[in-house]
Amino acid sequence: MTVPEARLFPPSGGVPNNPTLPVLIYRAALPANADDIERRLTENGWDCRWRDGVFDFHHFHSTAHEALALARGSARLLIGGDGGAELELAAGDVLVLPAGTGHKRMSASPDLVIVGAYPPGQDYAIEKPDAASLGRAREAIARVPLPVSDPAEGAQGALTRLWKG
């Protein structure tokens, strides 16, 4: 089993971040192939919804947890809003963002392909930082159920131990 890096981020400039669930960073956890990644994420109980990159502006999802699995290329992402952490990610890495976590692409290789996945029944809305809406976002985040499995490692994976409600 892979032991992910776990990081919590405080609210930042209209980005709520998640108050209790850490971001999980898995290095070289999945094969660097979109079809194989989708197969593994699906086997582990997550719904694959898209293949693309990451927006170049701060955004978050207060209604869903999100897994970003790099199938090809590399990217540098800013996590947690302004003052957060810049992460260098490569093919095979998986980033699991709990509901409310801000993220933004800082740079990417031209061949970047990310598979985006979500727990079943969780629909994501793309939200931009807004200090006036933080209360509403925090209420929505509190209602998002915990996933029953880890996207990279299934029911016995680290997420099920590290994310406690």
Q: Which of 128, 154, 144 is nearest to 30 (CA)?
A: 154
* 152 domain residue, yes or no: no
Secondary structure of 53-118 as H, E, C letters: CCCCCCEECCCCCEEEEEEECEEEEEECCCCCEEEEEECCCEEEECCCCCEEEEEECCCCEEEEEE
CATH of the domain at 55: 2.60.120.10
* 53 domain residue, yes or no: yes
The string of pLDDT tens digits covering residues 59-103 is: 999 999 999 999 999 999 999 999 999 999 999 999 999 999 999
* 34 domain residue, yes or no: yes
Q: Tokens in use for 11?
A: 């609210």
Q: Tokens in use for 120?
A: 């079943």
* 158 domain residue, yes or no: no
Number of domains in the chain: 1
* 150 domain residue, yes or no: no
User: In the sheet where 113-118 sits, what is the strand order?
Assistant: 5-7, 23-26, 94-97, 66-72, 113-118, 47-52
Q: Tokens in use for 158?
A: 């680290």
Do the beta carbons of residue 56 and residue 113 sit within 8 Å? Answer: no
* 38 domain residue, yes or no: yes
pLDDT tens for the 165 residues of the chain, in order: 678 999 999 999 899 999 999 999 999 999 999 999 999 999 999 999 999 999 999 999 999 999 999 999 999 999 999 999 999 999 999 999 999 999 999 999 999 999 999 999 999 999 999 989 999 999 999 999 999 999 999 999 999 999 985
* 2 domain residue, yes or no: no
> CB 69: neighbour CB atoms within 10 A?
32
Do the beta carbons of residue 153 and residue 102 sit within 8 Å? Answer: no
Q: Tokens in use for 151?
A: 């996207």
Domain containing 69 equals: 15-145
